[in-house]
Amino acid sequence: MSYLALQVAGLSKRYRLGEYSSDTQLREVIVATFSKLAGRKREPVQEVWALRDMSFEVQQGEVLGIVGRNGAGKSTLLKLLSRITAPTTGSLKARGRIASLLEVGTGFHEELTGRENIYLNGSILGMKKREIEQRLDEIVEFSGISKFIDTPIKRYSSGMRLRLGFAVAAHLSPDILLVDEVLAVGDADFQKKCLDTMDGLRSSGRTVLFVSHNMAAVESLCSRCIWIEAGKLRADGEARGIFAEYMRTFAKSSAGTVALEHIETRTGNGEGRFTHMAFLNTTGETTNYIRSGDKLTLRLHYRALKELRDVVIGINIHNEYGTLIAASNNWATGDDIPIVAEGNGYADFEIDCLYLLPGRYYLSLWLGKWNNQQDVLKNCISFDVEASDYYGSGRGIEAGFGLMFFPSRWKSCAPQDRLVLSEVGAV
C-alpha cells in the first residue's frame, strides 16, 4: 500500500546577499572579514528569492524527475528537502530516512578514510553499527575503489568521491534518495550502474527525486516530472509531455535564418559573439526543410570586438531528451582559423550527409579557445529532420530505429540452389 512520502506546501527560500546565514560557508566569512579589514565597502543588502510558493506531493515508491535551467532553484529545493538549509516560509513533511547526493563529496569528512566516512554517513542516517557492517562490503564493491578505501578522502579524485558518495547514499537503506546532477562526473559504465541502482530502489518501494539535464536518463526512470522556472513550479505532470515542452523553450526558431544576437542565456567574455545562423541547401539558399541524408551547410555569423587568434568554433547536437548525438569543431577537423579580424564574419560548417533520423534536435554553439571562451549558447536552436527516401527504395528512413542512421547496403551471399529451394517452398 502506497503512502505519502513527501509533502511540500508553500515552500519559499530567500537569500539576503551581503548577510550571513546559517548555511554560509566558513570560506565566505573569512573572505568578507579580510575585505572589511582592507577597507572594501560592503555592498548593500539585496534580497533574492531562490524559491517561491513551491507545493507538490510525492508518493512512496515514486521516482520524480526535476528539470529546469541553471539557477532555476532545483538545487535549492533539494537542499531544503535534505534539511541542509531551512525554508523562509512554507513547510515540508517527509516520511522516513533521507539520503542525498547533492554535490561531489557532500557529507564526507576530508580527514577520515573512505571506510570511516561510510560509518559516519550511516550514523547520521540513524543506523546502528551492525546495520552498516552488513552493507559495508556491498558499498565498497559498488564504488570500485576497494584499493583506496582506507585512504583519507582528501586524497580522492572527484570521480572517486562520486563513486563512494553514490554507493553510500544508495546502499544505506534510505527511504528517500535525493540525487542532483552528479552522474555527469562518472564514466558510462558507472552511470549505468547508478541508473540500474535507482531503478532497483524504485522497484523496492523507495522514493527518488532525480535532478538531471539528461532527459533520456530521467525518462528511463521517471513517469512524472516537475519543471521549475525562476524559483516557481511551472509544470507538474507526465514526464514525456513535460520534457517536450521544456526543450521547446530553449529554441528561438525551427530553422531557416535564426537571430542569436539578443539571446540572454549565454556565457563567455563577449569578445566574440554569434549574431545569427542559417541553414543552407546544396544551392546555397536558406532552407527550413531538412531531411535525413541531406547535404547541408550551417552558416554561423559572428561579430568580433577585437582581433582574435587561434579561434575554435564548435557545435553540439542533442535530441529532445538532452542526449548528445554528435559534436564537431574546426580544431578537430584540422580546419584551423589562425586569425579572426575585428568586425563581422561567418564560418560554414559543411555536412556531407546528415545521419540524423527524423525527429526534433537542438543545437548548441560555442566560440573561443578551450580556456577562454568568447560565446557559448546552449540549446539555442531547434530544427526538425524529416523522413527521406535516401535509398530510392520507396520505403524511406523512419524514426524509431535508434539515434542515427548510416548509409549502407545489404547483399545476399546465400548459394543459388538454396534461394531456388526457398522460392519453391514458398509456392
* pLDDT tens string 331-390: 999 999 998 899 999 999 999 999 999 888 999 999 987 778 899 998 888 888 888 878
Judge if 335 and 195 occupy the same domain.
Answer: no
Which 8-state DSSP code applies to residue 255?
S
Judge if 140 and 189 occupy the same domain.
Answer: yes
Judge if 242 and 262 occupy the same domain.
Answer: no
Judge if 171 and 261 occupy the same domain.
Answer: no
Judge if 308 and 327 occupy the same domain.
Answer: yes
Would you state the pLDDT for residue 419? 46
* Domain span at 90: 4-12+48-248
Domain final residue pick, 386, 401, 416:
386
Residue 425 has pLDDT above 80, yes or no: no
Would you state the pLDDT for residue 32? 62
CB atoms within 10 A of CB 308: 22
**315 compared with 100, residue with greater pLDDT:** 315
- For all residues of the chain together, what is the average pLDDT? 81
How far apart CA 282 and CA 297 sit, in angstroms, is 8
Would you state the pLDDT for residue 254? 44
Judge if 144 and 240 occupy the same domain.
Answer: yes
Judge if 351 and 312 occupy the same domain.
Answer: yes
Judge if 241 and 121 occupy the same domain.
Answer: yes
Q: Judge whether 42 lies within some domain.
A: no
Judge if 90 and 184 occupy the same domain.
Answer: yes
Would you state the pLDDT for residue 96? 85
Give residues with Cβ within 8 angstroms of 222, minimum separation 6.
Answer: 63, 64, 65, 210, 239
**122 compared with 424, residue with greater pLDDT:** 122
Give residues with Cβ within 8 angstroms of 289, minimum separation 6.
Answer: 255, 386
Judge if 216 and 70 occupy the same domain.
Answer: yes
Interval 194-199 mean pLDDT: 78
* pLDDT tens string 22-65: 555 555 556 566 566 666 665 566 788 999 999 999 998 898 99
Instruction: Choose the weakest-confidence range: 107-116, 147-156, 229-238.
Output: 107-116
Q: Judge whether 124 lies within some domain.
A: yes
How far apart CA 302 and CA 291 sit, in angstroms, is 26
Please give the single-letter amino acid code of residue 307.
Answer: E
Would you state the pLDDT for residue 423? 43
Would you state the pLDDT for residue 424? 40
Would you state the pLDDT for residue 113? 92
Judge if 203 and 228 occupy the same domain.
Answer: yes
Alpha carbon separation from 306 to 148, 273, 374 (Å, rounded) = 50, 11, 11
| Count of domains observed in the chain | 2
